Structure 1
Amino acid sequence: MAVAMSQQEPDHLRAVVDMGSNGIRFSISTLQPPTARIMPTLYQHRIGISLYDAQYSAAGDRQPIDQQTIHAVVSSFQQFSLTCKDFGVLDKHITVLATEATRTAHNSEDFRKQIKERTGWDVIMLPKEEEGRVGAMGVASSLPELRGLVMDLGGGSMQLSWLIKHQDAQSVSMPKQGAASMPYGAAAMSRLLHEAEKSGTVAKFRTEVQAAVKQAYDELKVPKELQEAAQKSGGFTLYLSGGGFRGWGYVLMSNHRVKPYPIPVINGFKATRKEFLGTEDVKQAAAASLEDDEDSIFRVSERRAGQVPAVAFLINALAEALPQIKEVRFCQGGVREGHLFSTLPPDVCAQHPLVVATQPFDSPNASTAIADLLQAAFPPQPTDAANDDYRSVFTLATLDAFANLMYYHSSHSKDLQTSSALRTTTSGVLAGVHGVFHEDRTLLALLLCNRYGGDVPPSDESFKHNLEQLIDSPWTLWWIRYVGAVAALLASVFPAGVADRSKGRIQLKAGWTKDKKQRSLLSLHVKFGPGVNAQAFSKELSSIEKVGKKKGWIGGRDGFGHKVAVEWNNNNSVGS
């Protein structure tokens, strides 16, 4: 999300250098309330210096990091030092973190000494276990809640751990040792697999990798509650981070059943076990991207595409070595995010990222009262319809975030409102927000679009259709239309938000009844307060009822939806 520099206090700014094996990432973030939970990024830059590759000769022999590479690293650090001054970052809030490639370099001490002499910055070497712990915290920052296994695939090493983070809980549970580390990063795996292929020992190497993963899993002592939950749900959720896995995720997105996949960011993307293990399809797509520029895959560089066979080898080994995996989630959070997230108070870590991200756009008096009214528009008990689990989909956090943004596009012309609202979470004001599921991005975008009627221009019809295809249940699509129509009514009744003087203008109450043919009927009672002329809102009231007409159902008359009856009163006069 966009953050105004003029509003940032220097004491809340944090600069982090993540010196990884495949590249070096520079970033400046703000931990200023109230958006500290999502750690807004003010600046980020990556240079593709591979400290791992720099330590191997053309013949494959291990060697010290050469002086030319060290000079390039130091030069980039010096430039970042100037950037930190431009942003006003205090020296005490600049942190340099180094991982596997720096830790194991033959000339690691001299390398770090030269950085210190030229910049004045100390390089913090993360031990194997600490690297895994920080990486796991980065994953924890990436989503509102997590419960499963975690793998971080860097350039030189791979970490395995488990993680439990319940929404609203002020703690993150993980192994005491942080994580188990193995020397199977994407770059390392490419080299090791190439050597195994040359020597004809691929089967032996696969056995070695599987044994290491099994041993690592056993050492983690996964808690019983996590194992039992996995048994009940059909397997573990596996959370993946690191450049090697993210490259794999982008290829999966390019092969998704919804084409083109409408959400560009990898964080929060979900894949089934079958999709994740479809290694041949992924390898073919990556090979095609290397051979032909027209088949290139978004966010997959030639280097990442070239590592796909090695990652595929690793994934096949994981599938055989780990317990049953039900699904995978891709996470953007890594060392940088984990370091920052670890410094936040527990109560801040427990906040919902989507609610935090939308708070700056909330009308001073709108969101809480609007969210309460939206909740009141849902019947308190579920329906008899199969798979219509609206209570678990439209959570309080979702409605809070929706209410916070409900007025944001109201100043746009009508030509722009639906389109701008539809793209809020993908290329609009929430595109860069950290910590959000793809499902939440999709749901919020469609709610905001339907708040303005849902009709988009031809240029956005395909994009909207693809977003709708990501919604698992057609029942949810119907409820999105219903909630959007209710929100349009509330926005008309409270055009400037809900102030103390206007709280009594409207009350909502919903419930299930039966029509004349004893079919389920959603009954919405709308009570207007004194001085409110209900006739002024006849169009909005009619729009809510239209959502219940069969031609407005998902799939048409024989599709998915509920009949809706709206009853309203205006100073003792009742209409419908």
Structure 2
Amino acid sequence: MAVVVAQREPRHLRGIVDMGSNGIRFSISTLQPPTERIMPTLYQHRAGISLYDAQYSASGERIPIDDVTISAVVSSFKKFRRTCQDFGVLDENITVLATEATRTAVNSEEFRGRIKEKVGWDVTMLPKEEEGRVGAMGVASSLPEISGLVMDLGGGSTQLSWLNKKRDSEEVEMPESGAVSMPYGAAAMSRRLEEAERNGKVKELREEIRVAVEKAYATLKVPKDLEDAAKKAGGFTLYLSGGGFRGWGYVLMSQHRVNPYPIPVINGFKVSRKEFLSTDQVKAAAAASLDRDEDELFRISDRRAAQVPAVALLVNVLAEALPLVKEVRFCQGGVREGYLFSSLSPQTKAELPLVVATRPVAMQNDPSPLVDLLEAAVPSGPTQGALDDYKSVFTRELMEAFANLIHYHSSHSKDLQATAALRSTTSGILAGVHGVLHESRALIALLLCARWGSNIPPSDEAFKRSLEQLVESPWTLWWINYLGAVAALVASVYPAGVTEKNKGRLGLSASWDRDEKARPVLLLRAKISKDVDEEVFGIEAHGVERVGKRKRWIGGRDGIGHQVAVEVSSAD
């Protein structure tokens, strides 16, 4: 997303080189307030140089990194150095991080020395445990809250850890050791599996990995409260990062019940245990993508597709070796994100990405008055455990993000407002935001679309239905339409936001009532000031009542929804 700041200050820019086993990632990010929590990326590039492959001969013998590869690495570093100069990144804020492939290279010292000689940059080699800790922090940066087991699958190794970060918490709890590293990266596993198949020792390899994973889990000493919470929930959430797992996630996305899947970014994508373990379908899809007669899968290179059988073996072993896993959440965060996230203050780490991302584009600095109005339009009282549990879905944080955006598309023409709003979290203003769940992307997009009347062109109707299928309850879909209509009503009274001068124009309150047949009715009371035309306001308020018409319920007249009545009165 575009970072809305008065001026990009060089002291806040960070240049990161993540020198992994399968490729080298270059990025420039800004940690300038107020958006530092989401670590906006200003530039990124990946050099497809495999340091892992460069260390093996055709016969499988371990060899030093060759001069051709080293020259390619140096050239890519020089290009990034020029890019950093163009952006104004200070030399002291450029960091080169190296992991397994560099750490274990036969000629590691010579390799790093060449980079220092030709480019002038020192290479920071992350020890095994530190690599796992930084990777875990990258996962923590990827979501608003996280509680469960974490695995990072690189090219040469994989790390296992646990994390516990509650919503709004400043603390990120993890093992003191950071993580346990095992030599089962995607590229390494592909090589090992090929060798095992050739020698008829796949069973032995499988058992080796199972023992290693079980031992690693025991070493982590997962806190009892985390294990108890997992048992109560029906199993752990397993958070996955790293290229190998992300490739698996993209294949699962292509096999999803919602097809085509409407959200292209992998970060925040969730699948059930059953879906995660559908290895036969995943391998078949990956094999088809390698066939030149078949279309390639989105974001799955031939290299990643070729690694799927090895990842499938690892996935099956994980299911056996780890405690019960209920669901799997894929994360984009890795070494780069973890390194940046680790440098943030505890207070910044506790901020919620969706709220942070929407603040710079809000009409006003303090969204509280708008949020208060939106919340006042929802009846008070607990709903947890109820079939219509709207309170758990439409949290204060979600309402704040929504409030920050209800004026954003005002400058668009009428034929663009609803459709631009619908696409805002997938290809619009929030598309590139780091740290947002897919569920939140769907909710915000649908809320904003409803705020503009859901008047979308036929070309977007299938996309909207796909987003709606990601919403777990049809009751939630009805509340989206209701809150969108309320937001439109509020914005009509406050077209430039709530200020000290116009603060008292509108007051809202909501409660449950009964009609003449004793059927439940959502009663919205609106109190308007004298400078608001009651007749005009009444016409606009009718848009809220329309949401309660049975023909507009989710599923039609016999579907899901509430009757709505709006009572308008003048303030004293």
TM-score by length of 2: 0.98
Partner SS for 1:511: strand
Which residue pairs with 1:301 in the alignment?
Answer: 301
Which residue pairs with 1:373 in the alignment?
Answer: 373
Correspondences of 1:4-153 after superposition (within 5 Å): 7-153=7-153
TM-superposed deviation, 1:570: 2.5
TM-superposed deviation, 1:565: 1.3
- Which residue identity is paired with 1:380? S
Which residue pairs with 1:251 in the alignment?
Answer: 251
Correspondences of 1:223-372 after superposition (within 5 Å): 223-292=223-292, 294-364=294-364, 367-372=367-372
Q: In terms of mean alpha carbon deviation, does 99-108 or 494-503 score higher? A: 494-503
In 1, the alpha carbon distance for the partners of 2:6 and 2:307 equals: 42
Q: In terms of mean alpha carbon deviation, does 222-231 or 522-531 score higher? A: 522-531
- Evaluate the alpha carbon distance shift between residue 470 and residue 268 of structure 1 in structure 2; reply closer, same or farther with a 3 A threshold: same
In 2, the alpha carbon distance for the partners of 1:5 and 1:72 equals: 36
Correspondences of 1:160-559 after superposition (within 5 Å): 160-292=160-292, 294-364=294-364, 367-382=367-382, 386-559=386-559
TM-superposed deviation, 1:521: 1.5
In 2, the alpha carbon distance for the partners of 1:9 and 1:452 equals: 36
Any idea what the Cα deviations from partners look like across 1:108-147, whole Å, max 9, x if unmatched?
0000000001111110000000000000000000000000
Contact 1:512/1:523 (8 A) holds in 2: yes
- Evaluate the alpha carbon distance shift between residue 2 and residue 71 of structure 1 in structure 2; reply closer, same or farther with a 3 A threshold: same
In 1, the alpha carbon distance for the partners of 2:110 and 2:366 equals: 58
Partner SS for 2:387: coil
TM-superposed deviation, 1:533: 1.6
TM-superposed deviation, 1:534: 1.7
TM-superposed deviation, 1:293: 5.2
TM-superposed deviation, 1:523: 1.0
TM-superposed deviation, 1:496: 1.1
TM-superposed deviation, 1:5: 8.7
- Evaluate the alpha carbon distance shift between residue 246 and residue 205 of structure 1 in structure 2; reply closer, same or farther with a 3 A threshold: same
What root-mean-square deviation, in Å, do the aligned CA atoms of Structure 1 and Structure 2 show? 1.3
Any idea what the Cα deviations from partners look like across 1:198-252, whole Å, max 9, x if unmatched?
1111111100000000000000000011100110110000000000000000001
TM-superposed deviation, 1:502: 0.8
Find runs of 4+ consecutive structure 1 residues off by over 4 angstroms: 382-386
TM-superposed deviation, 1:349: 0.5
Partner SS for 1:267: coil
Which consecutive unaligned segments of at least 5 residues does structure 1 have?
Answer: none
Partner SS for 1:503: coil
- Which residue identity is paired with 1:223? P
- Evaluate the alpha carbon distance shift between residue 536 and residue 431 of structure 1 in structure 2; reply closer, same or farther with a 3 A threshold: same
Contact 1:546/1:552 (8 A) holds in 2: yes
In 1, the alpha carbon distance for the partners of 2:25 and 2:358 equals: 27
Q: In terms of mean alpha carbon deviation, does 169-178 or 454-463 score higher? A: 454-463
TM-superposed deviation, 1:386: 4.5
TM-superposed deviation, 1:376: 0.5
TM-superposed deviation, 1:35: 0.1
- Which residue identity is paired with 1:428? G
In 2, the alpha carbon distance for the partners of 1:336 and 1:297 equals: 26
- Evaluate the alpha carbon distance shift between residue 405 and residue 384 of structure 1 in structure 2; reply closer, same or farther with a 3 A threshold: closer
In 1, the alpha carbon distance for the partners of 2:302 and 2:133 equals: 30
TM-superposed deviation, 1:557: 1.3
Any idea what the Cα deviations from partners look like across 1:480-534, whole Å, max 9, x if unmatched?
0000000000000011111111111110001112222222211111111233222
In 2, the alpha carbon distance for the partners of 1:529 and 1:297 equals: 57
In 1, the alpha carbon distance for the partners of 2:4 and 2:516 equals: 57
- Which residue identity is paired with 1:300? I
- Evaluate the alpha carbon distance shift between residue 66 and residue 4 of structure 1 in structure 2; reply closer, same or farther with a 3 A threshold: farther
In 2, the alpha carbon distance for the partners of 1:39 and 1:380 equals: 36
In 2, the alpha carbon distance for the partners of 1:57 and 1:451 equals: 60
In 2, the alpha carbon distance for the partners of 1:571 and 1:433 equals: 41
Partner SS for 2:177: coil
In 2, the alpha carbon distance for the partners of 1:258 and 1:7 equals: 42
Any idea what the Cα deviations from partners look like across 1:51-100, whole Å, max 9, x if unmatched?
00000000000111111100100110011100000000000000000000
TM-superposed deviation, 1:366: 6.3
Any idea what the Cα deviations from partners look like across 1:133-183, whole Å, max 9, x if unmatched?
000000000000000000000000000000000111111000000000000
- Evaluate the alpha carbon distance shift between residue 294 and residue 197 of structure 1 in structure 2; reply closer, same or farther with a 3 A threshold: closer
Contact 1:12/1:30 (8 A) holds in 2: yes
Contact 1:235/1:325 (8 A) holds in 2: yes
Contact 1:10/1:88 (8 A) holds in 2: yes
Contact 2:513/2:522 (8 A) holds in 1: yes
Counting matched residue pairs gives: 572
Contact 2:359/2:365 (8 A) holds in 1: no
TM-superposed deviation, 1:383: 6.0
Identity %, equivalent residues: 68
In 2, the alpha carbon distance for the partners of 1:455 and 1:321 equals: 51
Contact 2:384/2:391 (8 A) holds in 1: no
Contact 2:354/2:401 (8 A) holds in 1: yes
In 1, the alpha carbon distance for the partners of 2:6 and 2:104 equals: 42
- Which residue identity is paired with 1:476? T
Any idea what the Cα deviations from partners look like across 1:315-334, whole Å, max 9, x if unmatched?
00100000000000000000
Any idea what the Cα deviations from partners look like across 1:516-568, whole Å, max 9, x if unmatched?
22222111111112332221122321111111111111001111111111111
In 2, the alpha carbon distance for the partners of 1:357 and 1:208 equals: 45
Partner SS for 2:238: strand
TM-superposed deviation, 1:387: 1.9
Which consecutive unaligned segments of at least 5 residues does structure 2 have?
Answer: none
Q: In terms of mean alpha carbon deviation, does 546-555 or 146-155 score higher? A: 546-555
In 1, the alpha carbon distance for the partners of 2:352 and 2:266 equals: 19
Contact 2:164/2:172 (8 A) holds in 1: yes
Contact 1:138/1:333 (8 A) holds in 2: yes
